[in-house]
Amino acid sequence: MPFFKTKEGLQLFYQDWGTGNPVVFVSGWSLSSRMWDYQRIFLAEQGLRCIAYDRRSHGRSDDPGNGYDFDTLADDLAALLEYLNLRNVTLVGHSMGGGEVIRYITRHGNDRVDRAVLVAAIVPFLMKTEDNPNGVSKDVAEMVREMWKRDFPNWVLQNEPPYFNRADTSAMGEWTRWDMLQTSLKAVVECNKIIIETDFREEMRSITVPVLIIHGDKDRSIPVEISGQKSAMLLPKNRFILYKDAPHGLYITHSDQLNNDLLTFIKG
C-alpha cells in the first residue's frame, strides 16, 4: 500500500490513478480519500493523473492524536506534492478540504499549483462574529461537539438525509457513514473546531491562481450564502457555479455534473 511521510514521520496513505497532468483531491471533514472515487475514476479515464490521500487520523493513515490545525494539515499536503514531485497541479478540496487548499497556496505558494477547485467548501469564515453575523454561533458548535463525544454514530445517522437530500442514496449513505466512523473521534472534534473558527478571508484575497467555486443551493451543512457566495467576492480569479437542488454531498448526488465541470476547468 502506498504511503508518504510527513515532516514528523507520519505515514499517510494515498492512491495514484492514471497519467497526465495531476489532480490532487483533498477530502471533506471526517471523510477519507474514498469519497473521491467517482471523480477520480472518471477523470483518470479522461487522461488525467488523479491522486487522493487520507488526512492524518482518517482512513488508512497514521493517527497521531495531534496536528489538527490548518498550517500542519497544509504542510501534510505539501509533503505529498513534494514526495511525488508534482507540478502543474489542480487542487480540489471538498468542505474542510477547501480550507487546506487555500492554506496550502498561501503558505507554500503556487509554484506547483496551476489552479484550484472549491467544492462545497468551508471558506471563507463560518463563525458568527460582529463582522460575520450570519455565521455559526460558537456556543452552538461547542454544544454539538459535546454531543459527538457521547454518541457520534447516532448524529451521523440522523444527519445523513440532508447530506444527500435524495431518497435513493441509502447504500451510499451507509458507505459514507462507515467511512466517517473510521476517523479518530479526537480528529472529528478538533477538525470541526478549526473549521468553524478559522478565518480565511484576508488570505484569500492574495490568491492569484484561477479558482473554480462549486456549491449547492440546498447545502444545509455549509450554506452557500455564508461560504461559496462570499468566496466569489474574495478570490481575484474565480468562476462560481451554483448547482440547483444540490446538497453538501453533491460529489455523489451531482457526480456527472461535477465531473464534467472539473474536466472542463482542468482541460481549459
Active site residues: 95, 219, 248
Nearest to 72 by CA among 198, 252, 224, 239: 198
The DSSP string of 56-122 is: TTSTTS---S---SHHHHHHHHHHHHHHTT--SEEEEEETHHHHHHHHHHHHH-SSSEEEEEEES--
223: Cβ contacts below 8 Å, ≥ 6 apart:
none
Nearest to 97 by CA among 248, 268, 258, 256: 248
Residues facing residue 79 across a β-bridge? none
Place of cell 487522493: 52
State the burial class of residue 182 (Cβ atoms within 10 Å of its Cβ: 0-12, 13-18, 19+).
middle
Peptide bond into 64 cis (omega under 30): no
Helices 70-83/96-108 angle, 10° precision: 70
In terms of Cα–Cα distance, which of 132, 136, 249 is closest to 196? 136
Query: What does each C-alpha distance from 153 to 27, 57, 68, 85, 180 come to in angstroms?
Result: 20, 17, 21, 38, 9
Q: From CA 244, how far away is CA 135, in angstroms rounded?
A: 22
Q: In this structure, are residues 100 and 26 in contact, taking their beta carbons and an 8 Å threshold?
A: yes
